[in-house]
A and B are shown apart, each in its own frame.
Chain A
Amino acid sequence: MEPVLNRRDVVAELLSNRGEAAAIVGLGACVWDAAASGDHPLNFGLWGAMGGAVPMGLGLALAQPRRRIYVITGDGEMLMGLGSLATVIVKRPHNLAIAVIDNEKYGETGMQRTHTAYGVDLSSVALGMGFSVARQVNHSEELRASLKTWQESSGPVFLNIKVKADPLPLVLPPRNGVYLRDRFVKALKSND
């Protein structure tokens, strides 16, 4: 089945009506998608640290239990840190929601096929790990039906969202780590 969803639309939906939610965004095209939806001080976009998006989100979710914490990352980035899904389950943070933007490619490095292109099913992996909600999203109706779950359901929530692998224009957010860090902490404190 050919993916139909456009990743820019998907990430914009995930970050819409976010309230006080904070987002860790994994390296690669997800960072450009998040920037295209509007730069935000509570978006922490990684420009490296492949495999680190979920454990970073876990540390933040445990530290900020009253705030919704999103992790938005690519299939390649998720595959490098699969073990961290098991670590999430040890703590079961109710406020953590993870979305994998699955284009079945290492998009950033030249569109090489990832393991999901060979049939690895990340939502089944998450289900097996013990996530409260773990589902695959293929169409816009399914995405719309999952938004409330993404924003509100008691987690940990895991969505694997199949998207088209079209190359899209780069939209670059700030990349200075200290700047990203300081503006994130400031924004967090201002609506604590």
Chain B
Amino acid sequence: MSDSGEHVLVDWPIAVYEELTSLEVSQVSFVPDAGLTQLINLCNADPAIHTIPLTSEEEGIALSAGAWLGGVRSAVLMQSSGVGNIVNMLSLSRTCRFPLFILVTMRGESGEVNEWQVPMGKGAPTILDVSGVNVRRAEKEDQVARLVGQAARTAFTCGKREAVLISQSVIGVKSFNK
């Protein structure tokens, strides 16, 4: 997002999309975040992927479990506030040891101008951690796809619950033209 609120095309979404397709992820669910726009568009344009908008992020956790039961790999995309919506549903993944891969774009961090994003920006990593989800952090753009590949591979092949958090310094700040 540029200062004027316009989207600036960046490279990490393409690399992440390629990681996910190479791992044969065929269900991608999300509640949108501005920072996820490009990745969502890439998935939407791919007929081999079911791209599924959710009304609340917890649906994505249950969806991913059902997909895995049916032999299909899934990824759930959300902004940091969405982490607050998934907490109880994570007990499904954890109790049944379902593989789970979550990609989180962080808000409420460096330069945030919307105070309402700060609580979950602060809370998301700890909440995921205490809910049994392993957290990896991408602080720089060139780390994102590599971490996604590592985390998703671990999730699907070792049956783990993994999240990659993309720092706001990578995503940029939503300015509201102020």
Q: What is the interface of chain A, defined by CB distance below 8 A to chain B?
A: 22, 24, 44, 46-64, 81, 83-84, 86-87, 90-91, 177-178, 180-181, 184-185, 188-189
- B97 CB → nearest A CB, Å: 5
Q: Which residues does chain A contribute within 8 Å of B59, judged by CB atoms?
A: 52, 55, 81, 83-84, 87
Among the listed A81, A84, A177, which residue makes an inter-chain contact with B95, where contact means beta carbons less than 8 Å apart?
A: A177
A56 touches B62 (CB 8 A): yes
Instruction: Please report the total number of B residues contacting A with Cβ < 8 Å.
Output: 31
Q: A83-B55, A91-B52, A181-B97 are in contact. Are A49 and B62 (CB under 8 A)?
A: yes
In angstroms, Cα B145 to Cα A182, docked, is 31
Among the listed B55, B65, B92, B97, which residue makes an inter-chain contact with A87, where contact means beta carbons less than 8 Å apart?
A: B55
Q: Which residues does chain A contribute within 8 Å of B88, judged by CB atoms?
A: 48-50
In angstroms, Cα B71 to Cα A77, docked, is 25
Q: What is the interface of chain B, defined by CB distance below 8 A to chain A?
A: 27, 50, 52-56, 58-72, 74, 88-89, 91-92, 95-98
Which residue of A has the minimal Cβ distance to B56? A83
Give the A-B pair count, Cβ closer than 8 A. Answer: 114
Q: Which residues does chain B contribute within 8 Å of A84, judged by CB atoms?
A: 55, 59, 62
In angstroms, Cα B72 to Cα A49, docked, is 20
Among the listed B60, B67, B96, which residue makes an inter-chain contact with A181, where contact means beta carbons less than 8 Å apart?
A: B96
Among the listed A59, A90, A177, which residue makes an inter-chain contact with B27, where contact means beta carbons less than 8 Å apart?
A: A59
A62 touches B72 (CB 8 A): yes
A62 touches B67 (CB 8 A): yes
Q: Which residues does chain B contribute within 8 Å of A46, judged by CB atoms?
A: 92
Among the listed A22, A49, A63, A189, which residue makes an inter-chain contact with B92, where contact means beta carbons less than 8 Å apart?
A: A49
Q: Can you list 23 A-B contacts with CB-CB less than 8 angstroms, sorted by A residue number?
A: A44-B69, A46-B92, A47-B95, A49-B62, A51-B62, A51-B89, A52-B58, A52-B89, A52-B92, A55-B62, A55-B63, A56-B65, A57-B66, A59-B65, A59-B66, A59-B72, A62-B50, A64-B71, A84-B59, A87-B52, A177-B97, A178-B96, A188-B71
Which residue of A has the minimal Cβ distance to B90? A49
- List of 5 A-B pairs having minimum Cβ-Cβ separation, nearest first: A63-B70, A59-B66, A83-B55, A177-B96, A52-B62
Q: Which residues does chain B contribute within 8 Å of A49, judged by CB atoms?
A: 62, 88-89, 91-92
Q: Which residues does chain B contribute within 8 Å of A62, judged by CB atoms?
A: 27, 50, 52, 67, 70, 72
In angstroms, Cα B95 to Cα A46, docked, is 11
Which residue of B has the minimal Cβ distance to A82? B55
Most chain A CB atoms below 10 A, which of B74, B96, B98: B96
In angstroms, Cα B61 to Cα A144, docked, is 35
- B36 CB → nearest A CB, Å: 17
Q: Which residues does chain A contribute within 8 Å of B58, judged by CB atoms?
A: 51-52, 55
B92 touches A48 (CB 8 A): yes
A48 touches B27 (CB 8 A): no
B52 touches A181 (CB 8 A): no
In angstroms, Cα B82 to Cα A122, docked, is 27
A56 touches B66 (CB 8 A): yes
